[in-house]
Amino acid sequence: MTSIDKAPCVDDYDKVLVDITRYVFEYGITSPLAWKRARIALLDALGCTIETLHASPECVAMLGPIVPGTLTPNGFRLPGTSHELDPLKGAFDLASTIRYLDHNDAYPGAEWGHPSDNLGALLAVSDWLSRSKASSIQANGSTNGVIEHQPPPMTLRTLLTAQIKAYEIQGCLQEKNALNAVGLDHTVLVKIASTACVSWLLGLSQSETLAALSQAFQDGQPLRTYRQAPNTGPRKGWAAGDACMRAVMMAFLTSKGQPGAPTVLTAEKWGFYETLFRGKEFVLKRPYESWVMESVGFKLYPVEGHAISACEAALKLVDAMKQSSFLPEYDIESVKIRTQGPAFTIVNKQGPLRNAADRDHCIQYIVAVILLKGTTIDTADYMDNSPWASDPRVDALRAKMSVVEDPGFTEDYRNPKKRSCANAIEVRIKDWKKAIPEVVVEYPLGHPVRQDTLEQVAVKFKRNMSLAFGDEKIEEVLRAVEQDDMAVKDFVDLLWLGEE
């Protein structure tokens, strides 16, 4: 008898996988705040897609069928385009456009991540299933002859359920487990969360979902090198797309009968923990519920999350310098930035910046451009063709900057009762006896404690959507996202630019 003939039972699997699976299949979401913020997060992610399509030819060049001219019956309709794609490429394309400009939501922890990355997999599969069901195509590929779990109806309520749970899985895992410390990328957790929720959407059983999750952990895991000098590059913009595509593939392969690896995490010598995590085990500080959706941060500036408060501090300094008639390129003697540990590691960069991916992860570049420009930094300011990318004043000002980690900021960042993401900037002026008073920002716009966050997310959504749609269509989308019983395909059709 082969391993395919006799699948492992639930109790054979590592507890981490069992807990994820039971949460996805058995937990009922009751938090009104989670449902409210899930709708806002969905809209924000879709707005980021439209922004990317408008601002990044580099990303747009990757979109569409892998083989030009390939047609997919009842395919996923990629918002903002005329593409109809299979669920795998659809997951890649949507997650990549959500993530590419580093403008989608973010969640802190020992590992920093972007939970809306998962929507690439969730929306692509939900839309394809919605269209397939309407065309009487069977999506469930269960091999054991017994359907233990019927696929849920492909409505917005179902999509939002999967979204809240994917956010929770990724966020809870990254709170105490630093993949970056072992050189791995946080999109490993996108793949895990998406695999679990896509399996549920497809109608896989709990035992099949465990197998799919184990396959996702057996899969090759991405190195963080594309986020760090000297190899920072645009792959960091499509790493989430790759994770979502892999998640969908693992779920589909499992639906065709591929067995799992029950001790994929804990096996001696060959397991994930010993091979890739330096012998440590995953630690959770809270049970899976809906906390992550309730407290995820939104990006209101196109700035890496740990540097957003530095962006706000620099904007306040701009006002102070204007009032005193100081010119940054001539009058600044030095700039001191106090920051938290994660920012010191991730966005503290000296030396040449080779591309947009380098610039948007450099706190010195962000602060320098804001001080010189006199207003907020925009997505276009990171691009190779931006005048700021080649302006010698930027590097001259960067050379005057020192970045230091403030242990208090790091402690408050990690403190679950504070969860601040602070930066402080002090500017010293030549021939002036004292510095301009230091500006400290603990909670930037977009942080869940800020009362103006959700209002500004709505403004951001409308601004991004206006790049491709008129006011009437935008209002129609805003009304539609409140309709729990709307079919996913009907919602996606509102955002598609192709012809029927």
Q: Do 213 and 332 fall into the same domain? A: no
Length of the chain: 500
pLDDT at 139: 47
Which pLDDT does position 135 carry in this prediction? 64
Strand, helix or coil at 403? strand
- pTM for this predicted structure: 0.91
What is the pLDDT, as a whole number, of residue 138? Answer: 46
pLDDT value of position 137: 47
365-421 pLDDT, tens digit per residue, is 999 999 999 999 999 999 999 999 999 999 999 999 999 999 999 999 989 889 899
Write down the pLDDT at residue 500. 77
Q: Can you give the residue range of the structural domain that contains 364?
A: 305-441
Both 283 and 335 in one domain: the answer is no
Q: What is the CATH number of the domain that holds 17?
A: 1.10.4100.10
Q: What is the DSSP letter of 404?
A: E
Residues 279, 425, single domain; the answer is: no
Residue 487 covered by a domain:
no
Query: Per the domain annotation, does 479 fall within a domain?
Result: no
Q: What is the pLDDT of residue 320?
A: 87
pLDDT at 144: 41
What pLDDT is attached to residue 19?
A: 98
pLDDT of residue 321: 85
Does 159 reside within a domain? yes
For the chain, the domain total comes to 2
- Domain's final residue, options 240, 274, 295: 295
361 shares a domain with 262: no
Domain assignment present for 469: no
Q: What is the CATH number of the domain that holds 349?
A: 3.30.1330.120
99 and 244 share one domain: yes
What's residue 279's pLDDT? Answer: 96
Place of tokens 């923990």: 273
273 with 311, same domain: the answer is no
The DSSP code for 184 is B
**Do the domain assignments include residue 92?**
yes
DSSP per-residue string spanning 197-264? HHHHHHT--HHHHHHHHHHHHHSPPPBGGGGSTTS--THHHHHHHHHHHHHHHHHHHHHTT----TTT
332-339 and 401-405 strand pairing: parallel
Structure tokens at 163: 């979204």
Backbone angles phi, psi at 13, to 5 degrees: -85, 155
pLDDT score at 1 = 31
* Positions in the chain short of pLDDT 50: 1-5, 136-147
Q: Is residue 313 part of a domain?
A: yes
Query: Could you say which of 274, 295, 316 is where a domain stops?
Result: 295
Q: Say which DSSP state 390 is in.
A: G
Asked if the structure places residue 475 within a domain, the reply is: no
Domain end residue (candidates: 388, 416, 441): 441
In 3D, which of 328, 446, 336 has the Cα closest to residue 388? 328
Do 491 and 156 contact (CB within 8 A), yes or no? yes
